[in-house]
Amino acid sequence: MSVVIVDYGSGNLRSAEKAVARAAHEAGLSSAVTVTADPSRVAKADHIILPGVGAFADCMMGLSATHGMVEAILDAVTDRGVPLLGVCVGMQLMATRGLEYTVTAGLNLIPGDVKVIEPTDPALKVPHMGWNTLDVARPHPVLEGIPTGTDGAHAYFVHSYALAPADPDHLIATSEHGGSIAAIVGRDNIVGTQFHPEKSQEFGLALIANFLKWRP
């Protein structure tokens, strides 16, 4: 099984690569993990991971500037049904629009806008940074066997903006930070996490392993 992590100049690429390789090994999966800026490698992948760190507009600009990459991702995901995992801003890029500083078009794989977090409690700071549990809105294979809810496992977040899906059916799990925030979104063969699985210890490794096993 070939797993590609898309390199477009943004994201924790090496830590993501190490986490994916470890998750595959511990799950007994035979996986070749590659970090690549080559759209032809993405086009042939069995699983695609789209990372992202920083501002929405900058990340979308970097992705679009990587010649042929957007087309390779969309063709693989929409035409071949390849599973796609977006992480942090990589998840946000799957939205219709990002509203960070300016209006920027996204990939429109998960319809909705990426908006600034506005906690109802003024004592809560933005960015939302730290460890949070998840509340599941609907079951999903990437959460299989992972304890959730108040006493569940914790995931690591660091972000100031969050995706608000237009379709509530695309919301898989939420977290709290002065209000409900989309923590996992998805539909069909697409899933995205606002938190960083590669930094979320055993929770993250379990989620990555579930993603690699996923055959939607």
Residues carrying an active site annotation: 88, 196, 198
Buried b (16+ CB within 10 A) or exposed e, 3-33: bbbbbbebbbbeebbebbebbbeeeeeebeb
> Are 57 and 165 in contact, with CB atoms under 8 Å apart?
no
Q: Give DSSP secondary structure letters for the chain.
A: -EEEEE-SS-S-HHHHHHHHHHHHHHTT---EEEEE--HHHHHT-SEEEE---S-HHHHHHHHHHSTTHHHHHHIIIIIS---EEEETHHHHTTSSEE-SSS-EE---SS-EEEEE---SSTTS-SSEEEEE--EESS--GGGTT---STTS--EEEEESEEEEESSGGGEEEEEESSSEEEEEEEETTEEEESS-GGGSHHHHHHHHHHHHH---
